[in-house]
Amino acid sequence: MNSVTFNSVVRFVVLVLLQGLVLNHVNFLGYINPYPYILFIALFPINNNRTLFVFLAFLLGLCVDFLTDTGGMHAAACVTIAYIRPPILKFSFGTIYDNQTIKFNQIELGSRMVYFSIIVTIHHLILFSLEVFNTSNIILILKKTLFSSIFTILLCTLLSILFSPKRK
Amino acid sequence: MQQIINFVIRNKTFLLFLLLFGLSVFFTIDSHSYHKSKFVNSANFFTGGIYETKNGFGQYLNLREENHALIEENRKLRTIVFNLDLDTLRVSKVDSTLLGDHYLFTSADVFKNSYNLTNNYLTINKGKKDNIKQDFGVITSKGIVGIVENTSNNYATVLSVLSKKNRINAQLKKTSHIGSLVWNGKSEEFVQLIDISKFAPVAVGDTIMTGGQSAIFPKGILIGKIEDFSLDIGGDTYTINIRLFNDMTNIGHVYIIENLNAGEIKSLENESNE
């Protein structure tokens, strides 16, 4: 097991546990919860097997679903962002992505936040649409998406700064 | 044939995505329909074990509140016992089948509780081994909590009253006008009582309790107080906003109620329906 695989496995377990045991119980202002476990999907090594990546995203979502009793909502949202990640990467990082030499800890903060924002917003929109599951409550879906997204983006950025190796 | 195989290989990521997305949407729809979320729930030994470990760390932190709740409950029970105008001689003559034997209570600890979703669940530490089955009622000393939905050997998930799937039979304490308890998903402090007849004397501050019409809860389990009410659009029934007695955000110990006559009631109802 090389260090990249090991890193991913540890990240997977830690993020799922962190989500299930701590962050699902934040309930800021009654209903706002952050979901930074999708950092696993956002920071997954890029030049890897895409099929495996989509499958891992599904597993990640399903684990969180088991912990929160939410059917398959997290799984659906995770699979989607995993599948559409390449265009998002291209949009946020431009030419660096084309050269396939991307290293997340070398990217400047601004474009990293743009990248997180897009992924998080899409994920939350799908998640809350499936959770509310009622077109007459679109306002509620949008409200939940907006506030939770802000929270998640902030946490994702902070976590990725905290745990990235020192830049030289 | 070769082309089909080539197509599958070329688009394997997309096909896998479609498959997994379809699967998760299926799970989601399954979890939105009443009493059918059988695939993904936290009543399995793995997530149950995780929550049990977590509860082991956390349960000492709110012992003080738990003690207060127990003292308050004891006080209430003592008040009832000492004010009952019973002499023991008369009780001993009453046919014992009329007393007590209809409902069996089991206590349980809550491992996990949520109140910010559309359908909220609690995970408790009693399961099939303790004879807990689907459709048992769950209450605290203050009032109603929910209904058991899935069970594993050691754990069970409870569909909370804060859920759009539940319709619990409830009534006014003063009169016997009945209605259904639902939740609009907006606030964890309030649930709604619908289908109360417009002839009912509804007043702000009145108590709402469970009605005896379901085989799940006994009659008279407290639910909450009327906060406000309005006639619905048709003008025939009231929609009542109820402030729950239970603080759904803070539930530690619960009681599970088994109605020993549930099977008999159900089979009788099925016979009459045929």
Q: For residues A120-136, give the mean pLDDT.
A: 88
Which chain A residues contact residue B249 at CB under 8 A?
27
Dihedral of the alpha carbons of B109, B257, B141, B154, in degrees to the nearest 10: 0
Q: Give the tens place of pLDDT for each residue, B166-201.
A: 888 888 888 888 888 888 888 888 999 888 888 888
Write down the pLDDT at residue B86. Answer: 57
Do the domain assignments include residue A27?
yes
Instruction: Indicate the pTM of the whole model.
Output: 0.79
Residue B61 pLDDT > 80: no
Write down the pLDDT at residue B90. Answer: 47
Do the domain assignments include residue A26?
yes
Residues A164, B15: Cα–Cα separation, whole Å: 34
Is B47 part of the contact surface with chain A (CB cutoff 8 Å)?
A: yes
Tell me which residue in B21, B46, B115 faces A79 most closely, judged by beta carbons. Answer: B21
Structural domains of chain B in order of their starting residue, each with its CATH number: 45-163+251-263 (2.40.10.340), 168-244 (2.40.10.350)
Do the domain assignments include residue A168?
no
Please name the amino acid found at residue B269: E
Token output for A30: 């009654």
Domain count, chain A: 1
Decide if A55 and B20 are in contact by the 8 Å CB cutoff. Answer: yes
Q: For residues B248-266, give the mean pLDDT.
A: 84
Q: For residues A133-139, give the mean pLDDT.
A: 83
Go through A55-85 and write b for each residue having 16 or more CB atoms within 10 A of its CB, e for each that does not.
bbbbebbbbbbbbbbbbbbbbbbbbbbbbeb
Q: Do the strands B168-172 and B137-139 form a parallel or antiparallel pair, or are they unpaired?
A: unpaired
Write down the pLDDT at residue A79. Answer: 92
Dihedral of the alpha carbons of B110, B115, B116, B117, in degrees to the nearest 10: 80
The angle that helices A73-83 and B12-32 make with each other, rounded to 10 degrees, is 160
Do the domain assignments include residue A90?
yes
Among B170, B166, B165, smallest CA distance to B180 is for B170
Residue A77 pLDDT > 80: yes
Residue B38 pLDDT > 70: no
Is B21 part of the contact surface with chain A (CB cutoff 8 Å)?
A: yes
Decide if A70 and B117 are in contact by the 8 Å CB cutoff. Answer: yes
Query: Which range, of B62-71, B120-129, B249-258, averages the lowest pLDDT?
Result: B62-71
Which chain A residues contact residue B28 at CB under 8 A?
70-73, 76, 130, 133
User: What does pLDDT average to over chain B?
Assistant: 82
Do the domain assignments include residue A14?
yes
Residue B88 pLDDT > 70: no
How many angstroms separate the Cα of B176 from the Cα of each of B108, B109, B208?
Answer: 31, 33, 10
Is residue B41 within 8 A of residue B152, CB to CB? The reply is no
Work out the pLDDT band at B98, boundaries 50, 70, 90: very low
Which chain A residues contact residue B39 at CB under 8 A?
71
Q: How much is the ipTM here?
A: 0.84
Q: Give the tens place of pLDDT for each residue, B20-34.
A: 999 888 888 888 776
- Domain ranges, residue A85: 3-163
Please name the amino acid found at residue B171: Q
Write down the pLDDT at residue A100. Answer: 62
Question: Pick the residue with more confidence: A97 or B201?
Answer: B201
Q: Give the tens place of pLDDT for each residue, A40-73.
A: 888 888 776 888 888 889 999 988 888 888 888 8
Question: Pick the residue with more confidence: B35 or A118?
Answer: A118
Token output for B214: 């379901």
Which chain A residues contact residue B182 at CB under 8 A?
none
Kindly state the percentage of chain B with pLDDT values over 70: 91
Which chain B residues contact residue A50 at CB under 8 A?
13
Is residue B209 within 8 A of residue B170, CB to CB? The reply is yes
Q: For residues A86-110, give the mean pLDDT.
A: 74
Q: Is A33 helix (H, G, I), strand (E, B) or coil?
A: coil
Is B86 part of the contact surface with chain A (CB cutoff 8 Å)?
A: no
Do the domain assignments include residue A23?
yes
Residue B71 phi, psi (nearest 5): -60, -45
Residue B96 pLDDT > 60: no
The angle that helices A73-83 and A50-68 make with each other, rounded to 10 degrees, is 160
Question: Pick the residue with more confidence: A164 or A84?
Answer: A84
Q: Give the tens place of pLDDT for each residue, B109-138.
A: 888 888 888 888 889 988 888 888 888 889
Residues A75, B124: Cα–Cα separation, whole Å: 24
Work out the pLDDT band at B67, boundaries 50, 70, 90: confident
Write down the pLDDT at residue B198. Answer: 85
Is A68 part of the contact surface with chain B (CB cutoff 8 Å)?
A: yes
